Chains A and B, each alone.
Chain A
Amino acid sequence: MAPQTQLLPGTLDLLILRAVSLGPLHGYGILLRIGQISGNALLIEQGALYPGLFRLVRQGLLKASWGTSENNRRAKFYELTVAGRKRLREETENWNRFAAAVGAALAAEPEEA
């Protein structure tokens, strides 16, 4: 098993939005999807997902509806709203800028400083 990294604060919401952007998912499905797309590199407490989900619903970025899962169980499915899609785009750009800046800063050699 690959070593897992703690999430940076604030990144869970972004990951949820990203996971759901590929199609409606229920809570457990979102966890699996994040694991899948991140190569299981991120450690997410299962329960911690739900406050994030409810927060995003409250902000109008996600909408939820009850349906039936692939396991034939009742589950609540989340999908992106228009606002959610827009937010995902913005946050992704932000993150990329941030990551690039931090990366550049860390890669800088002493004499260049």
Chain B
Amino acid sequence: MKLLDSLRFRLSTLFGRSRMNRDLEDELRSHIQHRSDDLERSGLSRREAERRARLEFGGEARFAEETKDAAGGTLLDSILQDVRYGLRMLRKSPGFTAVAVLTLALAIGANAVVFGVLNAMILRPLNVADPDSLYAIEHGNDNGFQSYPDYLDLRERNRTFADLAAFNVSQAAIDSGDNPSHAWIVEVSGNYFDALHVQPYLGRLLHSSDEHGPNSAPYIVLGYAYWHSHFQDDRGVVGRVVRLNKNPYTIIGVAPPQFHGTIVFLQPDFYVPLVNEQQLEGADFLNLRGYRWIFDTVGHLKPGVTPAQATADLNSVGAQLEKMYPKDDHGRMTFDLARPNLYGNFLGRPVKAFLTALMLLAAMILLAACANLGNLFAARAADRSRELAMRLALGATRSRVIRQMFTEALLISLLGGALGIWGSIILLNALSTWQPFPRFPLNMPVHPDVRVYAIAVLLSILSGLLFGAAPVRQVFRTQPYEAIKSGSSGILGRRITARDLLLVAQIAICALLVTSSFVALRGLSRSMTTDFGFVPQNVLLVDSTLTMAGYHGDAVLPMQKRMIEAVQSIPGVESVGLIDQAPLIGGGNTSVYFKDDTADLRPSNAAAEGYEYGISPDYLHAARTTLLAGRSFTWQDDLKSPRVAIVNQEFARRVFGSIPAALGHNFKLVDGTRVQVVGVVQNGKYFSLAEDPLPAIFLPLPQYPANETFLVVRSSADPQRLAPAIQSKLRGLDSGLPFYIQTWQAALDGALFPARVATMSLGVLGGMGAVLSISGIFGFAAYSLSRRKRDLGIRIALGAQRKEVLKAALGRSVQVFAFGSVAGLILGLLASRVLALIVYQATPRDPFVLAGVVLTMMFFGILATWIPAQRALSVDPLMLLREE
């Protein structure tokens, strides 16, 4: 009862502020009237009585204030008061406010952006029903890749998945009239949409009942975005027949807008049945148990099944399969579960590592910003010591003064946070529409959501509390009498203060960030100048798939020869080569190889595993891949002549021991074919720039036919100028063949993408760290200078030299800066392991990096202390003495 009453009283005073004020006024008025009545009775006139009563009562306003305090209902009141006062103080020093708000806006913005990406890539669940129970199956070292028979067996034999769908990412030519165009497609198992619980936006989706063996389901389900952009939202599209790689397919429906498969950054154009793979890929893989080409298999676990149970279940199926098909020994049939969002652990792991590291760095930026602002606040509190003393002397409690300071800090942090969030929204929305590779259907929907805003607001408040706490000790130490008596004499203690430590920490963090960005920059420049094993400059890459234009079997090679000849005839073209998979552009085919004397051809007996490419005779020349020994191919290396191969140095070393030992000798392909080594070429990069040297072999196209066709067109001048001519020549050969022309360097963007992104983001963070360290040391130097002007004036008057003046004025700042920089550099050295996760050959023990960081930090130090130094030298002792 008592509690309730008191609560009601408090609430009513908190919210019914005006009511309470009125109540109190009424009561005080009543008091004075009662007193007046008494005085009147003793013989005074009413007017005189009331005047006396009021006088006797004393300071009405003061008591009203005290009463409100006593009633405890003034929290909101006094907070509003604090806010008003705080805003007034901030307006009074606009420079300070602007610097503080901007600093925080940058730091909060950086955190919001990094968290936004982290949120979209990792934290946000997929936009499918019940994403928590959705898993992809990882298969040993092959990531998600499966063969079709294995997939079917896994689907039929497992007891833990509600349903298991498979999909493969591919490309196709779609022709809805007379405009063959290139499209990114997802080949899906019939149960795909049902397994993911997707409902059609228009028409119907695929079902298992559509599948009746190879090429039995010529149906297309359009992605919403593709329907929107290529069919102009035409609702009559359902039932239309289009040509896919020259085969008729019926559009049966449109997928819902929010659905774009199970990989967050992939936006496929449309979906076609996996069973029609032969028509789409040009070769029949459906019955090959040993060929793992299906990109990923996904499904929901049955209710109540844990991932561990499902893994055990899959592994027992795997063990059965190993026994049933011993000939298709492809290593161990063991499985793991992973989230499908980032294609399992393949991308998931590095992306997570990178984003976590970035998040850490961003948090450090925020910490540095807080240290910076804490310093500013402490300095400001010192400058305001007179004001503080005055307020304390006038009876303000210390807690009230501290609350006032926190209010100011929170005002700044919330303003900064709001600005930072605004900036991050713009940046994240821009990132969401960004297509890093125009050639690929990749983009990242990283629009900010409630979680991002909440984190940003939370960080703002936390940082406000953090840097607001800096001057608290000062407030507690302030003795009103002392402060007013001595004025701002600025006696600087010799001992290390909390402010010094804050600044050292801040400079250290900034130096660490600068170190990281230098490391990343070095990594990028190394990636750019590393030896690819070919020379991408001055080359146009023409990428097409002959299947798309209906070429099969024996028709492929003659067409490829015609293409080479046609492009060769263009003036300005120096040489033209053809390769089935361009290295460093989305991978290539890998296989295992055996020594010539190996009889039992199971993968565990392989001598090497590596990449294999089919090339035309001129490829090595056009790509500028150096032939170290032996000969190149000729068109005479065809099916009528012995099988031959060119291997790289690494292959020769691993399989034969040395280059001379390889030349002229045989090895076996995965199917047992004996192949003779006729040439050895330099090593190259095949999958990623960061890879160690890998074995690779090159086979002559006539003996190793392929539908995938990359023309490597080397020109003597700017290759871009050749593009129109190439286009018209190829159109002239076959107007129905879709192809894509770009420079080889542009095509390598994908390979350089991680290094670029790392450099860009670390560079931005490093830049922010630099700005913070400059402004921090500048603020510190300028402030300590302003407090020691009189001291300096006396020194100058007594004949101190410039050097001594500078030492006295800035010695402490320089010491702090140097100490912080060294600490940051050491931290950077220690952090090299984290950096190595994201940056190519990251090592801060690189002399360039070390020198770069030291020089940069020195430059920043000079920059930051330049103005204070000039000011120190121009101190006029007479002026100062007069001022006092």
Residues of A within 8 A of B (CB): 26-29, 45-48, 50-55, 57-60, 63, 69, 71, 73-76, 81, 83
Contacts and interface: CB of A to CB of B under 8 A. Distances in A.
A27 B53 CA distance: 14
Contacts of A57: 9, 71
Contacts of B57: 46-47
Nearest to B4: A60
Interface of B: 2-3, 5-6, 9-10, 23-24, 26-28, 30-31, 33-35, 37, 56-60, 62-64, 66-72
A74 B2 contact: no
Contact of A52 (B2, B28, B64, B70): B70
Nearest to B69: A51
9 contacts: A27-B31, A28-B30, A46-B56, A50-B31, A50-B64, A54-B68, A60-B2, A69-B30, A73-B37
Given A47-B58, A50-B67, A51-B70, A58 B31 contact: no
A29 B33 CA distance: 12
Contact of A81 (B2, B62, B67): B2
B34 A58 contact: no
Nearest to A71: B37
A76 B27 contact: yes
Given A48-B63, A58-B6, A75 B58 contact: no
Nearest to A69: B34
B71 A46 contact: no
A79 to B, nearest CB: 13
Contact of B30 (A45, A58, A76, A83): A76
Given A47-B57, A74-B26, A26 B34 contact: yes
Given A47-B57, A50-B63, 13 more contacts: A28-B34, A46-B57, A47-B58, A50-B24, A50-B66, A50-B70, A51-B70, A58-B6, A60-B6, A71-B34, A74-B30, A75-B30, A81-B2
The prevalent SS among residues of A at the interface is mixed
A57 B69 CA distance: 13
Given A28-B31, A58-B70, A58-B72, A47 B37 contact: no
A46 B37 contact: no
A107 B857 CA distance: 77
Given A59-B6, A73-B30, A81-B2, A28 B35 contact: yes
B27 A58 contact: no
A54 B70 contact: yes
A104 B67 CA distance: 37
A46 B58 contact: yes
Contact of B60 (A47, A55, A83): A47
Contacts of B33: 71, 73
B28, B33, B35, B67: residue with the most chain A Cβ atoms closer than 10 Å: B67
A67 B702 CA distance: 111
Contact of A47 (B9, B62, B68): B62
B30 A26 contact: yes
Contacts of A73: 30, 33-34, 37
Contacts of A63: 5
Contacts of B66: 50-51
Contacts of B34: 26, 28-29, 69, 71, 73, 75
A27 B27 contact: yes
Contacts of A83: 2
Contacts of A59: 6
Given A27-B30, A46-B57, A69-B34, A51 B6 contact: no
Given A26-B34, A83-B2, A58 B71 contact: yes
Nearest to B24: A50
A46 to B, nearest CB: 5
Contact of B71 (A27, A54, A81): A54
A42 to B, nearest CB: 15
A58 B10 CA distance: 7
A81 B58 CA distance: 30
A27, A28, A52: residue with the most chain B Cβ atoms closer than 10 Å: A28
A73 B35 CA distance: 12
A30 B58 CA distance: 17
Nearest to A59: B6
Contacts of A45: 58
B32 to A, nearest CB: 8
Contact of B31 (A46, A55, A81): A46
A53 B70 CA distance: 9
